[in-house]
Structure 1
Amino acid sequence: MMVAMTDHRGLKPYDVEVSLPTGRDTVWQAVTQPPLLHQWFGWEYDGLDAEIRQLFVDEATMWAPERMGWADGSFLEVTGDDDQATVRVHREGSGPSGPERYDAIEEAWRAFLTQLRFLLERAPTGRRRTLYLTGLTTGPKALALATTDWDRFGPRTASTVDPAGHLLVVSSRAPLTTKSPARTELIVTTYGLDDDAFDALQKDWTNRWSPIATNAETTTATDPAPDN
C-alpha cells in the first residue's frame, strides 16, 4: 500500500499535520496499537493487518516523547495536552520539493490522517469497512460524485462526509483542479455496516465510479463482517 520507508536519498521532503479535538495520550494509542490502527489506517484488503504490523511495529523506532521514526528519515509525532492534539508526519528528504511534485507517501499520509481525524472526531461505532476505488479520471469528475462540500488538504487530496455519514477521501497524482485524466483514488470509509448493506454500497459506488474512470477497479476485504 505505502512505499517502503527505507532510504531518504533523493526523496521529496514533506510536512503533513492534522489537529484533533482529542487528548495526546488517546491519539498516541490510535497511532501505535494495531487494533486501533485498523480502524483508520489505509483501506481494507487481505494484507492490511500484515502491513500495519510491518510499518508500525517491525520497522518503526519509538522515540520519547510520542514520536516514532523510519529508515527513510521520516517520523510521526503527537503533541498537545489532555484536550487536544496534533499529529505531524515529517520527512527531511534531499530531493526537489514544492507542491507541484507528487510524492506517493506524502499524499497517502494526507488521506490516512484525514481518516484518523474522522474516527476521533465522530467516534463511529462498529467495524470499519472500506471501498478503495481506483482508475484514471479527472479531479472535477471525482469531486462531482458527492453533493456535499469538499475540504481540501493540499492540491491533490480532498475529503467530505456524504449524507449517509460515510467518509469520502479523493487523492490524485495531479492537482484536483486539473482537467486531464490522472491516476485517482477514492476511499469510502464506513462503520458498522452488515454484509447486505455493505454489498449494496459496493455495487452503488462501483456503478458510479466505472463510467468516469478508465481501468476502474474496486478493492475491499473478502472476509465477512463480524457480529456487532
Structure 2
Amino acid sequence: MSEETPRIVVTVAAPAEAVWDALRNKDKIRHWHGWEYEGTQGGLEEEIDLIYFTKVDDSQVGTLVLGDGDRFVVEPVEGGSRITLTRSPRGANPDWEAYYDDITEGWTTFVNQLKFALEQHPDDERRTLFYVGTGAASLTDELGVDIRPAGTSYELDLVGEAVKGEVLYTSEHQVGLTVDAWGNGLLVLSYIPPGELKPEGSAMAILSLYGDVDRDALDARWKTWWETHYVPASLPGT
C-alpha cells in the first residue's frame, strides 16, 4: 500500500471541451462511468448523482472537485486533452478508508473507459456486463491474455469466442482491450493477487458492448466461465 496520493493521467484524442462535457453531462457520464447495476442503495443513476453532482465544485471550467476531495483537471494538449485525476489524501473520508486502494483502481478503470468512449464511441449508448470474485489465479493467465504495450494488436480465443483488437492501456493491476466482436467494445480486466489487503486475491471484469451484440448469450458464457474459475463476490452497495 503506497502512502503517496495517487494521480491518474490519461491523454485523450478529443478537445478539452468534449472531455469537460463528458464529465458534466449526465447522459454522457452514463457512456463511460462504471457499469450497469441495481443494488441495495440504488444503481448507476444514483451513483452518478452522488459522485458527480453532490457537493462538488465545478465553478472553474476544466476543474472538477468531487465531494470526497478527488480532483479532475482537464487541459488541452497537442492532439487532444490531458485528464489528471488526483485522489484525496488518505484519511480524508474515514467511511471509505478501507476501500481507498479499491477506489483508486476503480478510477483507473473509469478514466480509461472515458478515454475509450470519447475516442471510439462519442455519441453511442453502451451496454455492460460485470463480474467480480476471489481467487489465487491471475485473471489474464486464466483467460490466456498476453500483456503487451498499449497500441499492440492481438488475436485471442476469449471464453469460446474468437476476438481481436488492440491493447488500450495497462497498469499495475489492469489491462484494457478493445474487442472487435462486441461492436468495437472494451474489456477491462483487473486482478490483485493474494496479499495483506486481499488475502484471497481479487478479480474483476467489465465488458462494454455496442450495437447488436447478443448480451444475454455473452453473459451466459462469461458467467459459466467465471463461476468455474473464481468465487463470485459483490461490491459494497451492489
Normalising by the smaller structure, the TM-score range is 0.7 to 0.9
Alignment partner, residue 31 of structure 1: 23
2:228 to 197, 203, 211: 211
Q: Which structure 2 residues correspond to residues 1-228 of structure 1 after superposition, within 5 A?
A: 13-46=5-38, 47-80=43-76, 83-94=79-90, 103-123=101-121, 126-138=124-136, 140-145=138-143, 146=145, 147=156, 150=167, 152-164=169-181, 165-174=184-193, 181-193=200-212, 197-215=214-232
Do the aligned partners of 1:169 and 1:187 also contact (CA within 8 Å) in 2?
Answer: yes
SS of residue paired to 2:229 = coil
Cα distance in structure 2, aligned partners of 1:211 and 1:141: 12
Contact 2:128-2:206 within 8 A present in 1 as well: yes
Where in structure 2 are there 5+ consecutive unaligned residues? 92-98, 146-155, 157-163
Q: For structure 1, which runs of at least 5 residues remain unmatched after alignment?
A: 1-10, 96-100, 218-228
| CA deviation profile, 1:63-93 (whole Å, cap 9, x unmatched) | 4131111343320111115950011110252
- Residues 71 and 50 (structure 1 numbering): CA distance in 2 closer, same or farther, change over 3 Å? closer
Question: In structure 2, how many angstroms separate the alpha carbons of the residues matched to 1:141 and 1:94?
Answer: 28
**Residue 210 of structure 1: CA displacement?**
1.7
* 1:47-68, Cα deviation, whole Å (9 max, x unpaired): 1011101111113211413111
TM-score, normalised to structure 1, is: 0.75
Aligned residues: 198
How far did 1:186 drift? 0.4
C-alpha separation in 1, matches of 2:77 and 2:202? 39
Quickly say closer, same or farther: Cα 1:199–1:79, change in 2 above 3 A. same
User: What is the SS of the residue equivalent to 2:58?
Assistant: strand
Return closer, same or farther for 1:77/1:172 CA change in 2, 3 Å cut-off.
same
Aligned CA distance change for structure 1 residues 53 and 77 (closer, same or farther; 3 Å): same
Q: CA RMSD in A?
A: 3.0
CA 1:143–1:39 in 2, change beyond 3 Å: closer, same or farther?
A: farther
> Are residues 139 and 160 of structure 1, via their aligned partners in 2, closer, same or farther at CA, if it must alter by over 3 Å?
farther
Amino acid at match of 2:175: A
CA distance in 2, matches of 1:102, 1:72: 11
What fraction of aligned residue pairs are identical, expressed as a percent? 26
Question: Aligned partners of 1:123, 1:154: CA distance in 2, in Å?
Answer: 23
User: Which TM-score applies when normalising by structure 2?
Assistant: 0.72
CA contact (8 A) 1:143 1:170 kept: no
The whole-number CA distance in structure 2 between the counterparts of 1:115 and 1:138 is: 26
Aligned residue type for 1:190: L
Per the alignment, in what secondary structure is the counterpart of residue 228 of structure 2? Answer: coil
In the TM superposition, what is the alpha-carbon distance from 1:126 to its structure 2 partner? 4.3
The Cα of 1:172 is off from its aligned counterpart by 2.7
Tell me if structure 2 keeps the 8 A contact 1:156–1:171: yes
Superposed CA offset, 1:144-176 (max 9, x none)? 42526655532111111234132110123349x
